Structure 1
Amino acid sequence: MTAIRHWGRKLLDAVLPPLCLCCGAIVAEPGALCAQCWSGLRFVAAPLCPVCGQPFDTDPGGADMMCGRCLAEPPPWARARAVFCYDDASKPLILRFKHADRLEGAPAFGRWLARAGAELLIDCHLIVPVPLNRWKLLARRYNQAALLAQALGRESKVAVAADGLLRLRRTPPQGHFSRAERQRNVRGAFAPHPRLDVCGKNVLLVDDVLTTGATLGECSRVLLRQGAARVDVLTLGRVLLSPA
C-alpha cells in the first residue's frame, strides 16, 4: 500500500507539480516553501517580551523583562508567541492561505506553531481559534484560524474547540485603525459558545496574525470571563510594533 501511495504521489506531482506556498514556484513536495522564500522569513526568537512576544533588538538583561508597551498597558492574556514576523516576505504566505484557498500548508503551519508555542502547550487544556463572522465564513468557506488550531491540535494532541467562540457582529476592516479604534471596533463582538467549558482550564487562543492585539485581547477577555484560568496566544505571524 505504501508503494501504491508513493507512485500515486509521483504521478500526481508530474501532472500537478507542488508549488511553493508563498511565491508559487515548483517545490519538491506539497505544503513546502522554496529555498528563497524560506530564507526570507524572519522567525521570532529570543530575546523577546515574555508577555506579548515582541522580539527585542538587544538583550534586555533578563527573561522576565517586559517591553514598555506591556508595562504601560498589560494585555489580558498571559503570554503570546508567534512563528515569524509579518512583513513583506511572509505576507504572501499568509494571504495565500487566508484568501486564495492554499490550504495544503496547514499541516506544516501546525508543526511550526507547535514549535513556536512549545512552552504554551505544556499545560494547555484547550485550543480555541478566533472566529469569523458568519457572512465572512460563508463567503470564504473556511476560517483560517480554525484550520491552524486543528492542525496544531493534531500535532500537539491537545483538544480543539473549533467553534468555542462566536463572532456576534461583522466588524469593519481594521487595517487603517489606530490601536484605540481597533479596541472600540471589536468591543462586545465576541461571545462564548453556549456549550464551551473553559472553567479552570488553560486556554490557547490561535489566530493567523497578531497586530495590535485588539481582537486577541477581546477574545481573551471573553474566555477569562467564562472562567478560563489562563489564556495564552499563538499566531503564525506577528507585526513588529515600534517601541512604546
Structure 2
Amino acid sequence: MGLQAALRLIYPPQCVACGEAVASDFGLCGPCWRDTGFITGSLCDLCGVPLPGDGDVAQCDDCLSIGRPWDQGRAVFLYRETGRKLVLGLKHADRIDLARPAGDWLYRAAGPILGAGMLVAPVPLHWRRLFTRRYNQSALIAARVAKLAGLAHVPDLLQRIRPTGTQEGRNRAERFGNLSGAIRVHRARVNRMKGAHVLLVDDVMTSGATLAACAEACLAAGAARVSVSVLARVAKDA
C-alpha cells in the first residue's frame, strides 16, 4: 500500500480523454464526462440510440424501417465530441488503455440485455487490417465485458474473409452491399454456435451493416439469438 500511495503521488490518475487530474484511474474529468454524450433515459431497444421520452424502451425509425437481424442492442454514447475522440484514440492512436474504461461502460450499458451462458464475440477485422493495426479494438472491449459479466469470450468466433475497406463515404445501400458475404463463423467454432445466444461487440454503429452481416452469419450457423452492443452510436443529429 505504501508503494501504491507513492506511485499515485508521482503519477496521479488522469482523465483518459484530456489528461486532467481525476479521483481514480481510467476515469473522466467532469467536463469530459459532460461532453461524452452518454446515452441515458429512453432509447431504442435494437440499436441503443436515444429517443424522446422518460425512460421508455421502443424502436427508432431506422430500426423500424430496416429490420434488424438481432434481438436487442445497446450503445454507450453518441459518436460526437469527446465520445468520438475516445473511439478514434482507441481505434487509430494505439490507446489500448481505453479498452478498460470502454469495456466497463459497455458492461453497464448492456446490463439489461446480458444473460447467462451468452457467448461474447467481437466484430472481426480482416487479417490484413489486423496485421496493420496489431490489435482488434472491438476484441479488447469484448474481453473486458465478458470478464465483468462472467461470460465466455470467443474472439475468433467470426472471421472477415475478404477485405471490405472503409465504410466512410458510402451510402446505406453501399454499406450493406460492401459487407455481403464478407463474414462467416470460424469453422472450428461452429459447434459452439448451435443454440447459442451471442453478444456481438463493436466500437461504432452507423448504418448497422457490419453488425447485420455478423448477426446473419451467427444465425445461419445455428445461433438461437443474437444481441449487439457498441461503444458509440452515430445518430442523425450527432
Superposed pair shares fold, TM > 0.5? yes
Change beyond 3 A, Cα 1:158–1:45:
same
- 1:62 Cα deviation after fit: 6.0
CA contact (8 A) 1:201 1:228 kept: yes
1:113 paired to 2:114: no
Deviations 1:173-209 (A, max 9, x none): 1111111000001111111111211111111000011
Stretch moving more, 155-164 or 18-27: 18-27
Q: Alignment identity in percent?
A: 41
1:34 paired to 2:34: no
Q: What amino acid sits opposite 1:38 in the alignment?
A: W
- Which residue in 1 is equivalent to 2:217? 222
Stretch moving more, 217-226 or 70-79: 70-79
- 1:80 Cα deviation after fit: 1.1
Change beyond 3 A, Cα 1:8–1:139:
farther
CA contact (8 A) 1:21 1:96 kept: no
SS of the residue aligned with 2:229?
A: strand
- 1:18 Cα deviation after fit: 4.9
SS of the residue aligned with 2:173?
A: helix
Match among 126, 148, 151 for residue 158 of structure 1: 151
Q: What amino acid sits opposite 1:52 in the alignment?
A: C
Q: What amino acid sits opposite 1:214 in the alignment?
A: A
**What is the RMSD computed on CA atoms of the aligned residues?**
2.0
- 1:73 Cα deviation after fit: 2.2
- 1:138 Cα deviation after fit: 1.0
- Could you tell me which runs of 5 or more consecutive residues in structure 2 were left unpaired when the two chains were aligned: none
- 1:8 Cα deviation after fit: 5.8
1:180 paired to 2:173: yes
- 1:29 Cα deviation after fit: 4.4
Q: What amino acid sits opposite 1:22 in the alignment?
A: A
Change beyond 3 A, Cα 1:22–1:62:
closer
- 1:41 Cα deviation after fit: 1.6
- Which residue in 2 is equivalent to 1:131? 124
SS of the residue aligned with 2:7?
A: helix
Q: What amino acid sits opposite 2:235 in the alignment?
A: L
Counterparts of residues 166-205 of structure 1 (less than 5 Å): 166-196=159-189, 197-205=192-200
- Could you tell me which runs of 5 or more consecutive residues in structure 1 were left unpaired when the two chains were aligned: none
- Which residue in 2 is equivalent to 1:52? 47
1:90 paired to 2:88: no
TM-score normalized with structure 1 length: 0.88
In 2: Cα distance, 1:124 partner to 1:69 partner: 30
- Which residue in 2 is equivalent to 1:237? 232
- Which residue in 2 is equivalent to 1:207? 202
- 1:48 Cα deviation after fit: 1.6
